[in-house]
Each structure stands twice: as structure tokens, then as C-alpha cells.
Amino acid sequence: MACTSGSVQTVSDKTVAAKAEIDKLQKMLMDQEDANKKAFFDTIQEHLSNAQVTDARELTYASDIKTEYTSEFSLDKIAAVVKSALQAAAAAQDPSVKSPAMSPKAIAAYTDVVNTVAEAAKSSSTSSASLSFSMNRLSPGLFAFLYATSVNIKNEDTFGSEAVTSTAIYYRIMQSIEDVNNDTKFGEVLIDANNLLNMKQLQAALTDDLASGKLDIDEWMRKDGQYSEAVQTIQARLAADSSDHTELAAASSTNQAVVRTAVQKLTAMGEAHKVAIDMSQARLASKYY
């Protein structure tokens, strides 16, 4: 399935050239389907082996494509599709699995995982590349895997000054009966704590992109604001939980180093970047990263 954001669809509906460009982007990803699926499955097997899971069986596998402007954050359509697939797979679990498959909170948290993985694929910063694959143990015996990759095009005559990106996201949900007996801690708090770190890593990468000239200050402001809203949503869920997750959501020295380097570059680039510099310095001072 392929879906297009409203703003890009509006441009596509107006000109033949825009529609042709969008079709070209989506075809590029569709042509890579077999290779991406193999890479995805190979990585899944590696992670399952590391987790000592030997009996995993597939409950569902699918892929979807979303086309949007680079600064657009909303991936609701893809996140909703993955969420529905997850709920269906949970309902289809082996009857011997007595524990509830997923709580509403865990499903909400996993929606943010989908968004983070897809955003990482869209980022041009090497510091966020590791986030484009995700493995989560959602409940005893239930594992969800995600992988995303993107292609983009920039044509000012057709789409204006901003690039348009097509993102393919692959998802596979698997079950392990052996894992039901594993007492390893799981739950939405762990997922959310990891989401919080990953979203902040994307913010750090965004500032790195700004300093590298890969986006302008207006794009940075729009997207940073959207990331900040996502961070606040996740923080609110964590704050509502009584568990101690302080260590899980600790600051990252890697993110801090990325942002410090970016601030140094931005400082030499002039007054136009002052808002990004001031915000980044405040975040560094507060150990936000």
C-alpha cells in the first residue's frame, strides 16, 4: 500500500509532472522490496539469535509506503496500519499464551516507535541511521520488528523549495512460545523510555543536518517543534507511570557531542541561526540531550 500526505497530494493533483515524480519515487522503493525484505529478515534473525529465541514464528509481515514533504512528521496512516496489524496478530497468538498480549498503553507507545523508525529513515544524518531498525518485546512471547528506508527528490519548479520523501516501512510480528517463560522485564515503560532517547537522538541529528546545510532554519524550526511535541507526549506517559525509569531516560553523551559540534558550526554561520543556537545551548545546559 502507498499513501501520500495531503500537502503533497495537492501538488500532485495539479500537475502531471508532480504526479510523475511521486510515482517515480514510489516505484524506486517498490523495486527495492525484495532486497530490503531480505536485509530486514537477516537482521531480525541476528537479533533473535542474540536474544536466544529459537522458536519464533511469523504472525504477520507487510510493508507500506508514505510520501510527504521532508519536514512533515505525521505518519498517522502508516502508524495506524501497523497498529491494526499488531492488534490482529496479538489476537491470533497461541491459546497457550495466557498473558495479555498488549495493553492500550503499550500500543500507544509502539505507535511512537513506528514514527521514530520512519523519521530515522528520512534523516540524512549518520547519527540517526541506527534507529531505522527496531526490535521490541511487547509482551511475553510477542516480538515486533520494524525497518524503514527512504528516497527523496528536490525539484523547485514542481514542489517548491522543500524536498519530497517516500518512506517504505517494513513490519513483522513474531511469536515465541519459549519466550513466554522468560522473566525478562517488558512493557510500555521500557518502550517509552527507549522512544524518548530515540526521539531526542533524532532532534540532535536534525541540528546536525542544519549545521551541515542539509535543511534551512525554517525547516529546522518546523520539524524541531514537531519532535518536541512528540517528546512531551512520551514524557507525559512516563510521568504518569509509577516505575523508576530515571536511568533508562538518562542523557546521552553521543547526542550531546553531536549538538555541541553543530552549535560550533552554526555560530560561524551567522545571526540567522541564533534561535537554533540558543535553543540547543539551553538544552545542553539542562541535560535535555
The domain total for the chain is 2
> Does residue 201 share a domain with residue 116?
no
The predicted pLDDT at position 22 comes to: 80
> Does residue 153 share a domain with residue 77?
yes
> Does residue 80 share a domain with residue 15?
yes
The predicted pLDDT at position 18 comes to: 72
- For residue 165, the enclosing domain spans 2-181
The predicted pLDDT at position 182 comes to: 66
> Does residue 192 share a domain with residue 169?
no
Residue 116 contacts residue 199 (beta carbons within 8 Å): yes
| Cα torsion angle, 29, 32, 36, 152, sign | negative
> Does residue 82 share a domain with residue 9?
yes
* Domain endpoint, select from 128, 147, 181: 181
> Does residue 62 share a domain with residue 79?
yes
Confirm whether pTM is higher than 0.85. no
Residue 170 contacts residue 36 (beta carbons within 8 Å): yes
> Does residue 124 share a domain with residue 11?
yes
> Does residue 258 share a domain with residue 161?
no
> Does residue 109 share a domain with residue 65?
yes
> Does residue 141 share a domain with residue 37?
yes
The predicted pLDDT at position 281 comes to: 96
* Mean per-residue pLDDT pooled into runs of 10, the chain (289 residues): 57 65 85 95 95 91 86 71 83 63 77 90 85 88 91 72 83 87 67 90 94 90 92 88 57 88 94 95 93
* Domain endpoint, select from 181, 215, 233: 181
The predicted pLDDT at position 117 comes to: 92
Amino acid at 215: L
The predicted pLDDT at position 101 comes to: 57
> Does residue 225 share a domain with residue 115?
no
> Does residue 32 share a domain with residue 124?
yes
Distance separating alpha carbons of residues 147 and 124, to the nearest angstrom: 16
Q: What are phi and psi of 234, to 5 degrees?
A: -65, -45
